[in-house]
């Protein structure tokens, strides 16, 4: 269900408001009119090429923000932002124009400064934001995560709570949960999260998720210990103590902390 909210102004006391300057034009520009200045813009890196390939494969105007550029006297438009979109459009073959917000001309220093600002002053999407959007879009892995957590009585928070006040079963370990859901589906995730909920974990951490995944399904540990024994072992010790010991053991053994925690959990659960 959509949750549409109107745009509202925020109070910004103490902020000196800039001069807006001349209003830009929003134009559809032919690709052969678009240029970049290599004096301040980097050439396409390997990461850029990967991104462009992804844009070409899933080209969709709903995913494309307008480019930003300045118009030269000869009609060419120098892009300050949007090189990836323009290159992807040219590479696609079916796109001949892209939308460009054309601003008044600037000095080269001003253009370089604008380029830095456009690439720096963006609010990056967090993994939790990406998960929420994927869930709304019906991504099967995101849906499996939500389903598995619900079955176990756990929940994925959309942001860490104030003052770290997690409730039993809360988690923000979105990457680890996605990995489990991808490999074991919602039923497998529900099994793992159910152990953590029974152990009253608040929150269910990334380290614990990865450690329990090793305990439940790795060749080294799988099948030797019952789920309720793992829950009992977790209940018998504080989360802070277990994870602190795991980090210390991991440094000594030169292994990942979650692997050290899995070893400790398996040992403790075997003694239950």
Same domain, 154 and 192: yes
Q: Which domain holds residue 170?
A: 127-270
**DSSP states along 178-228:** HHHHHHHHHHHHHHHHHHHHHTT-SS--HHHHHHHHHHHHSTTTTTSS-HH
pLDDT 10s digits, 207-229: 999 999 999 999 999 988 999 99
Same domain, 171 and 218: yes
pLDDT at 41 over 80: no
Identify the pLDDT of residue 233. Answer: 96
Domain holding 60: CATH number?
3.90.1530.10
pTM of the model: 0.68
Q: Of 120, 150, 182, which residue constitutes the final position of a domain?
A: 120
pLDDT at 135 over 70: yes
pLDDT 10s digits, 138-197: 899 999 999 999 999 999 998 899 888 999 999 999 999 999 999 999 999 999 999 999
Arithmetic mean of pLDDT, 41-62? 87
Percent of the chain with pLDDT over 70: 97
| Domain-located, residue 18 | no
Identify the pLDDT of residue 136. Answer: 82
Same domain, 135 and 253: yes
| Domain-located, residue 10 | no
Same domain, 91 and 131: no
Same domain, 131 and 255: yes
CA distance 163 to 161: 6
| Domain-located, residue 110 | yes
Identify the pLDDT of residue 15. Answer: 85
Same domain, 84 and 177: no
Same domain, 132 and 260: yes
| Domain-located, residue 5 | no
Tokens of 147: 């389903």
CA distance 264 to 266: 6
Same domain, 137 and 111: no
When pLDDT is cut at 50, 70 and 90, the band that residue 19 belongs to is confident
φ, ψ (nearest 5 deg) of residue 30: -65, 145
**What's the total number of domains in the chain?**
2
| Domain-located, residue 8 | no
When pLDDT is cut at 50, 70 and 90, the band that residue 43 belongs to is confident
Arithmetic mean of pLDDT, 51-57? 92
Identify the pLDDT of residue 37. Answer: 86
Q: Of 65, 88, 120, which residue constitutes the final position of a domain?
A: 120
- Which span out of 55-59, 139-143, 260-264 was modeled with the highest average pLDDT? 260-264
Arithmetic mean of pLDDT, 57-63? 91
Same domain, 143 and 160: yes
Same domain, 155 and 184: yes
Q: How high does pLDDT run on average in the chain? A: 91
Q: Of 82, 104, 120, which residue constitutes the final position of a domain?
A: 120
When pLDDT is cut at 50, 70 and 90, the band that residue 122 belongs to is low
Same domain, 177 and 88: no
Same domain, 101 and 33: yes
| Domain-located, residue 253 | yes
């Amino acid at each position: 269900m959509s949750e549409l909210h109107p745009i509202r102004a925020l109070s910004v006391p103490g902020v000196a408001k800039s001069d807006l300057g001349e209003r830009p034009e929003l134009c559809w520009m032919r690709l052969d009119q678009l240029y970049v200045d290599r004096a301040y813009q980097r050439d396409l890196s390997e990461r850029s090429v990967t991104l462009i390939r992804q844009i070409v494969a899933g080209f969709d105007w709903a995913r494309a923000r307008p480019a930003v550029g300045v118009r030269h006297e000869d009609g060419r438009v120098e892009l300050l932002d949007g090189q990836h979109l323009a290159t992807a459009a040219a590479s696609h073959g079916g796109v001949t124009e892209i939308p460009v917000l054309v601003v008044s001309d600037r000095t080269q220093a001003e253009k370089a400064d604008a380029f830095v600002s456009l690439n720096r002053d963006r609010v990056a999407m967090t993994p939790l934001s990406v998960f929420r959007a994927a869930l709304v879009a019906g991504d099967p892995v995101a849906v499996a995560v939500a389903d598995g957590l619900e079955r176990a009585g756990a929940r994925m928070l959309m942001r860490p709570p104030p003052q770290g006040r997690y409730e039993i079963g809360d988690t923000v370990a979105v990457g680890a949960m996605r990995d489990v859901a991808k490999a074991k589906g919602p039923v497998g995730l529900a099994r793992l999260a159910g152990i953590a909920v029974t152990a009253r974990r608040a929150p269910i951490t990334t380290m614990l998720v990865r450690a329990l995944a090793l305990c439940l399904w790795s060749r080294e540990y799988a099948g030797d210990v019952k789920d309720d024994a793992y829950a009992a072992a977790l209940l018998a010790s504080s989360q802070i103590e277990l994870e602190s010991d795991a980090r210390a053991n991991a440094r000594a053994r030169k292994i990942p902390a979650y692997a050290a925690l899995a070893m400790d959990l398996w040992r403790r659960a075997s003694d239950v």
